[in-house]
Amino acid sequence: MNILVTGGMGYIGSHTCLALYKAGFTPIIYDNLSNSSIKVLEQLKIIANHTFEFVEGDINDRDKLEATLNDYNIKAVFHFASLKAVGKSTEQPLRYYDNNVSGTVTLLTAMQKSAVKQIIFSSSATVYGDPQYLPIDEKHPITATNPYGWTKVMVEQILNDWCLANEQNLAIALRYFNPAGAHPSGLLGESPTGIPNNLMPYISQTAVGQREFVNIFGNDYDTEDGTGVRDYIHIMDLAEGHVAAFSTHQKDSGSLVYNLGTGKGYTVLEIITAFSSSANVEINYKFAPRRAGDIASNFANASLAQEKLGWKAKLNIKAMTDDTWRWQSKYPNGLED
Ligand code: NAD
Ligand code: WQD
């Protein structure tokens, strides 16, 4: 079965293409390469011993989408394509709404025209805002604190309405907690452009000597050691979660939501210690003021995914830091070098 993977050259999409292929599906990658390298294709080929189909295109290009959906006889879409930098989204809100929200409307319009009725969407735990309770289950109210977050809330609403309008449609929004780690081969991973916003890539670039020290944003939170707590989930587990969601609900319809997390939170200091042990280097850090918009803690109640999808995260923090280090030390400057 052919599945269109928008944003399939990116960090999460590329790992999910491997999981889809391993499960017997045929992913067709659709990406405009705005935040990824064409070299990802070579890495995928080495890992899977398979040449993945790739269409260079934008989700705002409805004609190209329609042609791709028809030419490849696509049955379902895994929709990863989006811009994801929280800070940039507050500087360039229209660009974010255009890419993430208008782009999704264009994609759904093309799907409707081509009679493709199933979509798996990359949502985010960011839709829970500042948690009212922990661990966070799917019933927790949703909101946002920045335009990026609002694009996720809005797309979830659009998917709801799209399913209400046609009882055959299926939309599954997967709310990721904090994706981390890399492919265990070290051949595929996350390589952000510029200064990383996220903790794990910042630590790994510090470990490899590209950054002097990690700024820890706040050490006065109400947590075990005062630093922020997050639910880090290994990219391989996350990729498998997508396959589990689609395989379980392939014959269903309606609008569904699942948390993908481990259920366990780690502090920033715990992540630095784990990484230091994986890389066998000391990682310098300094305490800095809290980052605007940050929350003290969040971690998932992931029992719905376990109960309904039979999916559970298997890999621990050591696997995340070991695999990230393998990737970072093999490709210190990402694949472009
Ligand atoms: P990424 O930037 O590595 O991958 C996104 C891919 O989409 C890139 O290859 C980019 O070139 C492509 N893309 C962007 N806009 C496009 C467009 N208009 N047309 C075609 N392709 C386009 O990001 P990622 O970390 O792999 O994230 C994948 C999805 O998961 C995104 O929707 C993101 O918002 C969501 N998400 C990510 C995280 C995280 O921490 N990484 C957490 C929660 C949710
Ligand atoms: C984790 C912890 C920071 C960097 C973000 C988005 C969210 C989602 C995932 C897409 C926090 C601390 C970080 C640093 C630090 N993305 N930190 N020094 O903020 O939980 O979530 O990415 O949907 O929408 O907001 O992840 O990795 O940025 O931060 O101390 O240099 O590490 O304060 O406690 P976050 P993160």
Average pLDDT over residues 271-279: 98
Task: Assess if residue 287 is contained within a domain.
Answer: no
Residue identifier of the C-alpha nearest atom 33 of ligand 2? 217
Q: What confidence score (pLDDT) does residue 191 get? A: 87
Residues 129-156 pLDDT 10s: 999 999 999 999 999 999 999 999 999 9
Q: What confidence score (pLDDT) does residue 336 get? A: 82
DSSP classification of residue 167: T
Task: Assess if residue 104 is contained within a domain.
Answer: yes
Residues 206-244 pLDDT 10s: 999 999 999 999 999 999 999 999 999 999 999 999 999
Task: Assess if residue 28 is contained within a domain.
Answer: yes
Catalytic residue among 11, 21, 30, 148: 148
Task: Assess if residue 250 is contained within a domain.
Answer: yes
With CA atoms as reference, report the closest residue to 3 among 156, 186, 165, 172. 172
Q: Prior bond to 141 cis, omega within 30?
A: no
What range does the domain containing 9 cover?
Answer: 2-177+234-261+300-313
DSSP one-letter string for 46-113: HHHTS--EEEE--TT-HHHHHHHHHHTT--EEEE------HHHHHHSHHHHIIIIIIHHHHHHHHHHH
What is the reported pTM?
0.98
Please check whether residue 122 is in contact with residue 94, taking contact to mean a CB–CB distance below 8 angstroms.
no
Residue identifier of the C-alpha nearest atom 32 of ligand 2? 199
Q: CB of 196 closer than 6 A to ligand 1?
A: no
> How many domains are there within the chain?
1
Give φ, ψ of 215 to 5 degrees: -85, 120
Task: Assess if residue 324 is contained within a domain.
Answer: no
For residue 79, give the CATH number of its domain: 3.40.50.720
- Structure tokens of 179? 């994706």
Rounded (10°) angle between helices 103-113 and 147-165: 20
